Structure 1
């Protein structure tokens, strides 16, 4: 009997260690999803991802005043956080080639400092390659002190080559909490 009891205890320990390894693996995979998703979508142009490189305003062709396109803005916060994050205008009308600026409001409603990263998405997908930004809070991590609020501008232009059938473009941002990865990056940086 003692031998079977010892085997049962050994088996239970092995199962517990396996479960812990699976949970840690799942956590690590979930933690790595944001940067992996961003990198894959930027490389492949999937899911309406836009470039994180700023466009130089002087290199944009003249404005096409013969047509207008509605650009609407949506925001979400990942992970059920209670942060405030919204555009100050729900939409704007722009001519292709015309720069527009829209301001977003964000507030850290938590009692601790945090770092957020906004991931953009554009719909319809084919419009993503015609949307260029000269300024965007999505280019960098956004640190927030506890209770801090910010007004964050996005300056963009739709290329004149945007297809004629596109009359509405939706630019959406999802805010992710990247506090831990930002702290790890800062700790690993030789300049810190």
Structure 2
């Protein structure tokens, strides 16, 4: 496939006075808020054995051989440092009743785990949000890729825990929503 730099029919038909907007952080946040996604809390344990975690909506599957996914974590995050150091992390996919956990893990705080029920899941001894997650994937870190103020963390899914739960929690337009019934 070859890419052309000549304007196509859509570009020629556009308002001749329109110009592309410069993309700053606010504009980009606004763009991405229009792309709703599921809500997850990425958890791990640091070198002292303390649980670490943060809310994450930048998550997607990568492939089936091996089963793998990726999460994007902020570079300054203690969760990122702990996941890389430990070589493992868990992705807790939240259900509707997990809204409070999503909010709690998205803001800085001394002990994000004090307000949620959690347990350690083997084989890596990683925290699972037992009352807020409808599924948890235990992952081994395959690779990290720095990208601006975040790092892409690729993980091989080695263990999955699922539970009967209400519908998945969604986030978009800067608010939480529930997966529609039916």
Shorter chain as denominator, the TM-score bin is under 0.3
Normalised to the residue count of structure 1, the TM-score between the two structures is: 0.25
Q: Taking structure 2 as the reference length, what is the TM-score of the superposition?
A: 0.26
Find the structure with the greater CA-based Rg. 1
**Structure 1 or 2: larger strand share?**
2
